[in-house]
Chain A
């Protein structure tokens, strides 16, 4: 019934010709050469990632331990802040600010007072958009995988939202959701899309779902295409209903692709910036962590570096949970490769 069934029979056929001794010799040689081969194959990727990721991350961590430059009241010039220890981290997590009266909780209107609300907003937007994108993307992929006339046109059309640069998309939706914009005109409504919390978040969610569902759909579609038609036909012959076929064949077989798609969408959504920045500028409960980072960069780098590092850790934890407990399959199956073989 499952994918493994077929390869097994295939191996059965071809394997017999090879003979068991041959295999064992191969196994032995494998042990010695595979490590080195793997290293050679992986190194190019590691180097590129190293330059672009490791250096900035290390840089950020070093910076985050420095105080931001403060103003010398006498000269009016900025002077370096010196070593700060974990002050910048405490500042964000406990929402404590330096005030003329000493340490106190950050007053409304400072960036420091927005850390937890931004974290909440980021997670809320992530959960809703990723859930919607997964469901709609799956549905789109199933439709696209069917054979019918105009299928390739549909596939191209679905990619249009994903292909438009994000900055243009954000502008487009900002324009659409203006009070006198096309959305209100078309539906004869007078909703203040960017004027209060629920509509503003909905507008961002709609725009994000529109833009990134194709990404989901395409990855899931590729997964669907790897399932041989014979598997379905066999199931049909066995009298499985459409729902049974979906839950017992499609879902398990697509799961690796699906988990990768969800994992990457989640990581991207947790760093969402352009859409809320352009559509609402973070007003009405739409300030995400990335918006907070950008705003803070304009005020003080070192504190922004701490916030970036915190964001990094939050996303790391989410990814870890994904990979460890929800079985983002690329990792799980890859680490188990020895066993499965």
Chain B
């Protein structure tokens, strides 16, 4: 029975890992294209999820501000928008955000050191965090796009019949795994087999060289940030469905960091494998070792594992090895 329970924990760890990978993917995309660690990726997920709920519920953006400044007290348009349409509209908003980021931030920092761009994304995170609150309010929002939640009775019944122990798997986690698989396949295909994907990789290798062969840096950055915005929207939907859309959603980026250290900052499959290892490892560690040290070891374990990887394989499992000669 203990073995079966440990197997159940392992399976749920893998599922949790998929959820971490969804966030990590956005980081990888931007890092691949620009060599920038996008500190704002978690906030992008929060902003996307808030916008999705706002559109679905027909909320008036900046309603509180309109009331405070102009005395216009209106919080709702009085309509609701179906989930699929709202997701499409939110994706368009994220493209708009990508264009604004390129025009207002990135364009002015071409050729700057990566640390400057990293600091710019810190500023961006603070700005988007405040903008999201002002646009849609700081309350906890319920997100329901029709994804099922709760125990999968099929898995429970099947495992009970076969093994005599009904496994718990959350239906939302199963959906997350399927969505992540589709997303990764699409991103890998795009990156490897399309003209824009190859251009994206060229920009990642060398901005100046890519410009010299006629690749539009402006277009590539807008495209990459738009895709990262869409990935953030997917992550926001999954995490928002799980525990409501609220500020804490932006903190899931902290879960993505050890995943990236493990999988490598430049590998899309690495983000998935890293997520699975972290998810599985932290759950099993908590089960076997947690009780001996007082529990709550999951965050600690993820970072310790990532640090060990940094010592022995700094580029991560699938990352590109960078050799700089001085």
Q: Do A and B bind each other?
A: no
